Amino acid sequence: MKTTQSNVFISSKMNLNRQNMKQYILLLGSFIFACNVCVAQKERLNRADKYFELKAYAKAAELYEKKEPSQQVLQNLGDSYYYNSNMQKAVKTYRELILDYTDSLDIEYYFKYAQSLKGVKNYKLADEYLTKYYNKIVNTKEFIERNRKSTPHVFKTKTIDNVSTYSDFGLTFFGKDKVAFASTRNENNPAFVWNDLPYLDIYSATLKDGKLENIIPFSDVINTSSHESNPVFSKDGKTMYFNRTDDTKTKTEEGRVAQVKLYKAELINNEWSNVMVLPFSSDEYSTEHPSLSKDGKILYFSSDMPGSIGSFDIYKVAINDDGTYGEPQNLGRTVNTKHREQFPYISDNDVLYYSSNGLIGFGGLDIFRTQFVDNVYTLPTNLGSTVNSNLDDFSFVINEADDMGYFSSNRSGTDKMYSYTREENILTKYMVEGVIRDKNSKAPLAGAKVVLLDDKGNVLQEKTTTKDASYLFKLDPDINYVVKGTSDAYIPQEIKFTTGKDGEIYHNINLELESFSDAEERVKQDETGRVMVQIDKIFFNFNSYKIQPEAAQKLDVLVNLMKKYPSMEVEVSAHTDARGSDDYNLSLSEKRAASTLEYLVSQGIQKSRLTSIGYGETKPLNKCVREGICKDEEYDINRRCEFKVLK
């Protein structure tokens, strides 16, 4: 049969329709596949964001690595590496982030990039970004050279062979022959989402020849299914403070966070019990890393509580005799920066050691030292390259008497513990030394304080003289210094000198302090050794604590004396006679002492230089210890105000 043109046309059209249908099906399939890919990618991104919000940085990084590198992806991926100290990958990611999104980038990423660069010892490029971040020149190479010659000690460190593939840190003294530390070695604990390692528990052990032996976990009263770490013990070993992480997460501006809280436990019948959270811990912020002063009256810790200068600051809080606590006090901007200050340790010599990444250093958290002198903290000193690395170094503890102790670091890729011994830094050749004596008797003043300051008044170092009343400070070159001697009831003396280009390397400066009692006729030492300011007797009207005009004129003698000597501090005490009830007399004396103090303040004397106390009838000067046994003029002798020189 012949094929007509119409049949050919119809057949061709049918073939064309079949081809179009195939193309349509292929396109539809591609579209559906692409949509599925988009949905899968979006789900993967949502899961990555969720992990990141939960601070599950290891899992978040795995998912972000598979995503297109948007600004948000690069920021979170870089942070995931950064917070797990994977600095090589953090450098690569932050570099891409900064190159592609400079104009819209938060400047804090310059800081993180610089810290990551320091983590791989690329100090030159790190300084470029830190200079941009701080808007001032940062020269780490110059700092390292200066620190090599100026840091007071060098450390000989040794890894503690703890036979563990897990994270171990925070080794601390525990009794005479034991140590305590935190570890992830309990594989029965759930995994911590941050790094996929088991939750931390606290362990005790003995340390022999650089190895941990007799490793024993603390009881379930202390170790729970959450994190416990950073134990510290009272001198008698009967009280322990430590961290514990909440089981639940609290919603904050940074996402949902499991806060860390400080706990206290007591050793009763050789078992830890009475575990309680400290009252200044909170669901709204973290409190962590406790350290006790030698006398057990002050607790140091780290926190991001409201009012903090940076992400974490160092705080201290008073422990009252009745077991209650004062208000936490931030140690201020000399110690704390806008970044992280953590892991405080207060030594028996009242030297505060802590870790910071906000001060210039070698990279990550570095260990610093400072002291509280004349009501201010000295400028923090970096402990140097013999203990600090390009990564995180922390949990420093020391036995000052033996020049030995422990610290922790993740320089090997995971948290490990190190022991050390320390020696004087022989490279620190610039020095000043001398003796502090009484100006008149020439007797050495043991127990005097000598302070080294820079020409801006910042306290750099401080020492208390021992029996021979000598002191020695190691110095930096090319700096103007002030050395200042102080002692209770003495007039301070200060002398300026320089180690600049025209200055000397070695200085011998002897200080001679004059006592207030030698310098002023009205200042006398009584038979008990107290240094008193003697002014004419102040009278109050009967049953009154109001300062009368005649009394004010007498008090002006003390006002003028304290203005003449700005360092002088005085205790104002008031006493009554034995007539009247004990409670009445005590209350009246307290009011009179307080009223006297307030008058001195009204005349321009700083309140911080004064204290007031009322003794009631408890410190009579004669035998009139009860009512009805003396004449009026004999009772009058005991009604008095006294002014004791404290400093």
Among 113, 138, 163, residue at a domain's last position: 138
In this structure, the answer to whether residues 327 and 360 fall within a common structural domain is yes
Q: How many domains does the chain have?
A: 4
Among 107, 122, 138, residue at a domain's last position: 138
Judge whether 7 lies within some domain.
no
What domain range is 542 assigned to?
Answer: 520-645
Judge whether 9 lies within some domain.
no
In this structure, the answer to whether residues 419 and 462 fall within a common structural domain is no
Judge whether 101 lies within some domain.
yes
Among 83, 118, 138, residue at a domain's last position: 138
Confidence of residue 250 (pLDDT cuts 50, 70, 90): low
pLDDT of 26 above 70 = no
What pTM value is reported for the model?
0.70
Q: For residue range 564-611, what is the model confidence (pLDDT) as tens digits? A: 999 899 999 888 888 888 888 888 889 888 988 988 999 999 999 999
In this structure, the answer to whether residues 398 and 445 fall within a common structural domain is no
In this structure, the answer to whether residues 406 and 477 fall within a common structural domain is no
In this structure, the answer to whether residues 201 and 350 fall within a common structural domain is yes
In this structure, the answer to whether residues 397 and 463 fall within a common structural domain is no
CATH of the domain at 463: 2.60.40.1120
In this structure, the answer to whether residues 268 and 321 fall within a common structural domain is yes
Confidence of residue 535 (pLDDT cuts 50, 70, 90): confident
Q: What is the pLDDT of residue 553?
A: 83
Residue 342: CB atoms within 10 Å: 23
pLDDT of 457 above 60 = yes
Q: For residue range 252-306, what is the model confidence (pLDDT) as tens digits? A: 666 567 899 999 999 999 999 999 999 999 999 999 999 999 999 999 999 999 9
In this structure, the answer to whether residues 525 and 510 fall within a common structural domain is no
Judge whether 95 lies within some domain.
yes
In this structure, the answer to whether residues 343 and 200 fall within a common structural domain is yes
Residue 143: CB atoms within 10 Å: 17
Confidence of residue 188 (pLDDT cuts 50, 70, 90): confident
Confidence of residue 16 (pLDDT cuts 50, 70, 90): very low
Using alpha carbons only, how large is the chain's radius of gyration in Å?
34
Judge whether 11 lies within some domain.
no
Q: Where are the beta strands (DSSP E) in 193-337?
A: 197-198, 201-208, 211-217, 228-233, 239-245, 250-252, 255-257, 260-268, 271-277, 287-292, 298-303, 313-318, 329-330
In this structure, the answer to whether residues 238 and 340 fall within a common structural domain is yes
Average pLDDT of span 159-178: 83
Q: What is the pLDDT of residue 191?
A: 67
Q: What's the Cα-to-Cα distance from 591 to each of 15, 612, 626, rounded to whole Å? A: 112, 9, 22
In this structure, the answer to whether residues 503 and 527 fall within a common structural domain is no
Judge whether 4 lies within some domain.
no
In this structure, the answer to whether residues 348 and 452 fall within a common structural domain is no
Judge whether 610 lies within some domain.
yes
Q: What is the pLDDT of residue 361?
A: 96
CATH of the domain at 121: 1.25.40.10
Residue 53: CB atoms within 10 Å: 15
- ∠ CA 164-169-174, nearest 5°, is 105
Judge whether 396 lies within some domain.
yes
CATH of the domain at 416: 2.120.10.30
